[in-house]
A and B are shown apart, each in its own frame.
Chain A
Amino acid sequence: MSNLQIPVETQTLANGLRVVISPDHSAPIATVGVYYQIGFRLEPRGRSGFAHLFEHMMFQGSEHAGKMEHIRLVNSSGGVLNGTTNYDITNYFEVVPSNALERILWLEADRMRALKVDDDNLRNQRDVVKEEVRVNVLNQPYGGFPWLDLPPVAFRNWPNAHNFYGDFVDLDAATLEDVRTFFHTYYAPNNAVLLMVGDVEPKESFELARKYFESIPPHPAVPSANTSEPPQTEERRGVVEEKFGQLPALAIGYKMPERHHRDWYASALLDRVLHGGRAGRIHRSLVLEKQIAIAAEGGMGFPDVFEYNGPTLGTTTIYHKPEYSPGATVAAFDEVIADVRDKLLDSDELEQIKVKCRADYFSMLEAGGNGVPRFGLMHALACFTLFDHDPRLVNTVLDNFLSVTPEEIQATARKYLVPANRSIVLRLPAAPPRKQDSQVEAQPEAKQGTKQEGKEAKQGVKQGAKQGVKE
């Protein structure tokens, strides 16, 4: 058992804003975040990319802190700031010397209360976002692969299936009225949680939260998305052209169990059997032993699973040598899958995986992927508050993963890792094959596959970057 005792104190203000504080005085630094329960999935139809564009607008000025002033006030306090748009949440956070706490609360409250932006700001950030999409997606080899490529193939319901970074025509169509409506609908205190982590005193900090946030009016009824997916009955396939790179790549995504279903815990451990670095079976088999692939990695493991509150995919991404066809590559992948379905995991392998999960959980709480002090702790507290109404899960959730048995892992593999539950996207280079590869048998099959599979591809998205889009 993990025996975690991270202090967690909570209050809910009269307007519905939840406040979560986790004090830790080991360094004079405070990590502060406001998380709104709005993400890609909820953006309006015909406005793909809007949730992220809107996130940019939140840095454009509020009633008492004009354009650049928000940024200046944080930086000149000795801190850094950013925002991220995800599937089901959008966050705004600051990491500052703890003597700047009150200033940060004032700023976050000012923009929750009264965003103040104009057409110039919108035009400006639309341009900035387009360059963001170019630098991360359109102008990079394998840009957007697979996080933008897989959803249109795997999902049928628009909230789950559209281009999250936004089609440029949709970004161009966005108006100030859209900004206003979106703000009033979703950026309400009762749709948010305020987090203060690190060198903060709970009593004083709750008082400050009340002082700055409690008078902001709630929204009477924040809409929620219907993210349900019709049942999938057969494997789905798509193909996307790779404009720059010369290596063929493919991504395989299986629909994952619902949050906090017992299968959900087992599937996260199963993900670690398959992925989880070089000891993971897929990397070991495809990259190290058979040497079909140059890289093979997973995209949805423990503890990333916490930030999703709707249909998600457990993904494997493989960049394979041109002399192997996509078909041969998938066949090698399927051998690994067959093995976890057919054979019970031995206890040594499972024990290794559990130790690694425990270590990774600590690393996540300490910093998280972006190295920001306690970002991961704040992020987990926010997700457990917004999705599960229980931030104290941060101390107990790990045990649910560590108690998974080999039998549960096998049962989960048999239930979920089946062709009818998966989608495959090929990312195939547009450039002609390199000279040394043209003699190899694999090319014809690759091309044939392209045509066949092209039929089911809903839309050709060509793009790249990690999941979740930074400001």
Chain B
Amino acid sequence: MTTASPQTAISATAPAVGPERPVAWPHRTVRTLANGMQVVLAEQHTFPKIGIELFFRSGNALVSRQSPDLAELTARLVRTGTNSRTSRQIEEDLRRMGANLGTMAGADSSAIAISGLSEFADKLLAMVDDLARNAAFPADEFERERRQRLEELRIDRTTPGFLASERFRRVLFGEHPYAVVAPTEAQVEAYQRDALVAFYRENYVPSNALLIVVGDFSTARMMELVEKTFGAWKAGSAPSLAETELPRPRGRAVHLVHLPGTVQTEIMLGNLAITRQSPDWRRAVLANAIYGGAFNSRLVANIREQKGYTYSPRSSLHGLRHRGYFVVHAAVRNDVVAATLTEMFYELDRLRSLPVSEGELADARNYLSGVFSLGIATQDGLLGQLSTVYLDRLSEDYLETFREKIRALQAGDVLEAARRYFDSANAQIVIVGDRAQVEQQAILFGDVKVWDTHGHAIA
């Protein structure tokens, strides 16, 4: 169907893009204080706001053997009271500075993130300091958070996306600390307040810290303020992550998490890959963009736009600090699980077998180069980019050179990256769905292990 509207002298082909305008990443001032705290400041004056994020390079992986999620629970308690402020005072003080606060932990770091009006810069920084050094861990707040965490976990264990990623990390990482993304209910019941306090004392220390401030301030004055606020903070050094052997699976295997009554099946497949420090990282990123990392990618064109199996197929590379992995993900209707896996593998194998055309290569390079620069336009975007560089200890010119390095990649780089890091033959497959509907489709792709939603194997 073409809707009938009179045509005028508009070109039938899309106009070329104009000459590229320079992307000027803001100047950063980087300093390490005498106590070891690393400080990164970047001015951005578009709105009268600032964003402050204080990271500690210790996250859930550090404690995942004994008490998974301890870092996360510690972070949540941090905002519930300090030696001088009650929970209610903290929340009201935030509001009177126009501020949002997040305290959270990932696998590799814990963070106190605050953003607010720049007119309150001093007080915002003082709040971060108070939370980082004087958290009081009130016993009643601890019990409240424990119960909330339990209820959240119960919901998580009925959420297909959560169950898929939980099982997937287990399968890829085996006994490694990165294997565990969430605790059991029993582990949450067993938490002791003292363990949170101990984690906080050991890990929330300046030698383990990275402070990033972005926004509407003057660097000289902000650096003075940072020195004044954090300079006198003395504490010991934090423990580092003890890594263990990783599984090296040969051949594909399927892990089916049985969630009764589902009307859709969540699929994840993939393999261990590389971190951002790898010289191959950009090659793999480019290969991923072509495979399934963009709307304009092979996976989306195939299983969404051609076949209509799914709404949101995607692939991605995850760079944790010490290890990375590659994952392909889609939620599909129950009767096309096998068909979807077939197409996912077909597209992986195609990318591993044949060089991409020059046109497809150029499109993907342009995509990555352009999208990377979008981060420059907002304080959150900039803070996110800077935290990647400094948390992962990437080179100082990482932001400035990313685009030109992507532009230099060739079809051979994509082929090589796909062969090395998209390990089709040994991919591990996780599906979350109703066993009765999907198990017969799953067995076409390898031995099937069935799990319940609490991580117990079932026959």
User: CB within 8 Å of B: which residues of A?
Assistant: 24, 26-29, 63-65, 67-68, 71-81, 95-103, 106-107, 109-110, 113-118, 123-132, 134-135, 138-142, 176, 179-180, 183-184, 198-199, 211-212, 215-217, 243-247, 276-279, 284, 287-288, 291, 294-295, 319, 321, 351-353, 355-356, 358-360, 362-363, 365-367, 371-374, 434
Rank and list the top 4 A-B pairs by shortest CB-CB distance, nearest first.
A78-B370, A359-B98, A127-B308, A373-B377
Contact A358 B305 (CB under 8 A): no
**Structural contact, A215 and B144, CB atoms closer than 8 A:** no
Please determine whether A294 and B152 come into contact, CB atoms closer than 8 angstroms: yes
9 contacts between A and B (CB under 8 A): A27-B376, A67-B305, A77-B366, A106-B10, A124-B306, A135-B311, A179-B1, A288-B88, A358-B117
Of B117, B304, B378, the residue contacting A359 (CB under 8 A) is B117
Residues on the B chain within 8 Å of A140, using CB: 159-160
- Asked whether B49 lies within 8 Å of A359 as measured between CB atoms, the reply is yes
Residues of B within 8 A of A (CB): 1-8, 10-23, 44-49, 87-88, 91-92, 94-100, 115-117, 144, 147-148, 151-152, 154-155, 158-160, 261-264, 294-296, 301, 304-312, 331-333, 362-364, 366-367, 369-371, 373-374, 376-381
Interface centre among A76, A110, A127, A288 (most CB of B within 10 A): A76
Which chain B residues lie closer than 8 Å to A351 at the CB level? 96
Contact status of A116 and B2, CB under 8 A, knowing A78-B371, A103-B17, A358-B117: yes
Residues of B within 8 A of A72 (CB): 296, 363
Residues of B with C-beta under 8 A to A102? 15, 17-18
Residue in contact with A97 in the complex, picked from B20, B49, B151, B333, CB distance below 8 Å: B20
Contacting B97 at CB < 8 Å: which of A81, A101, A128, A355? A355
Contact A103-B15, Cβ < 8 Å, known A115-B3, A118-B1, A131-B331: yes
User: What's the minimum C-beta distance from B175 to chain A, rounded to whole angstroms?
Assistant: 30
Report the separation of the CA atoms of residues A216 and B392 in the bound assembly, to the nearest whole angstrom: 51
* A367 close to B160 (CB less than 8 A): no
Are A366 and B10 in contact, CB atoms less than 8 angstroms apart? no
Could you list 6 further interchain pairs (A-B, Cβ under 8 angstroms) beyond the known A71-B295, A139-B262, A352-B92?
Answer: A184-B3, A288-B88, A288-B144, A294-B148, A359-B97, A366-B46
Within the complex, which residue of A81, A113, A294, A367 is in contact with B295, where a contact is CB–CB below 8 Å?
A81
A residues in contact with B47, CB < 8 Å: 362-363, 365-366
Assess the A134–B264 pair: CB atoms within 8 A. Answer: yes
A64-B378 contact, Cβ under 8 Å, with A135-B264, A216-B5:
no
Cα A123 to Cα B305 with chains together (Å): 11
In the bound assembly, the distance between CA atoms of A374 and B18 in angstroms comes to 22
Question: CB distance A79 to B378 under 8 Å?
Answer: no
Inter-subunit contact B264/A245 (CB<8 Å) = no
Whether A288 pairs with B96 at a CB distance below 8 angstroms is no
What residues on B are CB-neighbors of A294 within 8 Å?
147-148, 151-152
